[in-house]
């Protein structure tokens, strides 16, 4: 498990590395899981880090930062890389050389489900520790968008359910979530699968915590489309 300061330190090193290799264009990564919550200070630590980038060009830049050997800077070890699909995107897993954690990288879309929309990008924010980064830019997507991504990526493990409950306790704009879902489902070639994933996950959460008006509103919307 890695904590907030560990993540901050590692991302500083990646910014330094990007500058050393003279990256011709900055790369922007968007944190979508436990790493996001750890950097927000609402979770003590996370096992892995999940990030998404907008397209293959951004991924190529990220690959240079992760894989170029520079003395004293981390070289992330690629574990696997899926095939690129224009509609479904691609996923890649990297392992930190220390073996402490993995970084799962999604390009364009997560597991054939949600994609990184323009509205998600507009809602994302940079925390003060990363405000001076020029080459390796780190954004935290909104808590509403984390909720949606976790509904798709979680495997019904206890810690995933706990993360979703934490987000609910922080307070969510459920109308915003429904609006994003409308947009996502209208664009997704596999909208039925995405709809079912989120329905099942929300029903699972309600079994844990009882009636939540906002969650019921999301279910009502999904059940009537």
Q: What is the pLDDT of residue 93?
A: 95
Indicate the burial class of 141 (C-beta count within 10 angstroms; 0-12, 13-18, 19 or more).
buried
Give Cα separations from 2 to 38, 43, 129 (angstroms).
9, 11, 17
Per-residue pLDDT at 141: 97
Rounded Cα distance between 152 and 221, Å, is 17
Cβ neighbors of 87 (< 8 A, separation 6 or more) are: 109, 189
Q: What is the mean pLDDT of the chain?
A: 91
**CB contact at 8 A, 168 and 212:** yes
Q: Residue 150 is encoded by which pair of tokens?
A: 């976790």
Is the Cα torsion angle 195, 220, 115, 166 positive or negative in sign? negative
pLDDT, tens only, 55-71: 999 999 999 999 999 98
Measured distance CA(90)–CA(21) in Å, rounded: 25
**32 vs 4: CA distance, rounded Å:** 15
- Those residues whose C-beta lies under 8 Å from the C-beta of residue 4, and which sit 6 or more positions away, are 38, 39, 41, 44, 45
Provide the pLDDT for residue 154: 66
Structure confidence at residue 179 (pLDDT): 97
pLDDT at 188: 78
* Beta-carbon count within 10 A of 45 CB: 15
Cβ–Cβ under 8 Å, residues 136 and 14? yes
pLDDT at residue number 111: 77
In contact, 3 and 38? CB cutoff 8 Å: yes
* Residue pLDDT tens, the chain, 225 long: 899 999 999 999 999 999 999 888 999 999 998 899 999 999 999 988 999 999 999 999 999 999 999 988 889 999 988 888 766 788 999 999 888 889 999 999 887 689 999 999 999 999 999 999 999 999 999 999 999 998 887 665 667 788 898 999 999 999 999 999 999 998 777 788 889 989 999 998 888 888 899 999 999 999 988
Alpha helices (runs of H) in the chain, residue ranges in sequence order: 4-20, 34-40, 56-67, 118-123, 143-153, 158-170, 174-187, 191-209, 213-223
Global confidence as pTM: 0.92
What stretch of H or E contains 95?
strand 90-95
Q: Which of 102, 113, 90, 80 is nearest to 35 (CA)?
A: 102
């Amino acid at each position: 498990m890695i904590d907030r300061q560990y993540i901050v330190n590692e991302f500083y090193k990646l910014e330094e590395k990007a500058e050393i290799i003279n990256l011709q264009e900055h790369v922007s990564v968007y944190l979508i899981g436990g790493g996001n919550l750890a950097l927000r200070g609402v979770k003590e630590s996370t096992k892995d880090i999940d990030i998404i980038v907008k397209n293959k060009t951004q991924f190529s830049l990220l690959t240079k930062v992760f894989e170029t050997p520079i003395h004293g800077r981390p070289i992330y070890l690629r574990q696997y890389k899926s095939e690129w699909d224009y509609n479904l995107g691609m996923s890649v897993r990297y392992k930190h050389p220390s073996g402490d954690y993995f970084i799962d990288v999604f390009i364009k879309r997560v597991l054939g489900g949600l994609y990184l929309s323009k509205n998600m990008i507009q809602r994302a924010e940079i925390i003060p520790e990363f405000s001076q980064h020029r080459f390796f830019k780190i954004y935290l997507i909104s808590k509403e968008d984390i909720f949606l991504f976790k509904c798709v990526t979680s495997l019904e493990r206890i810690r995933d359910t706990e993360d979703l409950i934490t987000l609910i306790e922080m307070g969510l704009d459920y109308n915003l979530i429904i609006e994003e879902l409308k947009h996502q489902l209208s664009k997704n070639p596999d909208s039925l699968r995405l709809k079912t994933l989120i329905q099942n996950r929300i029903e699972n959460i309600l079994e844990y915590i009882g009636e939540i008006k906002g969650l019921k509103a999301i279910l009502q919307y999904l059940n009537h489309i």
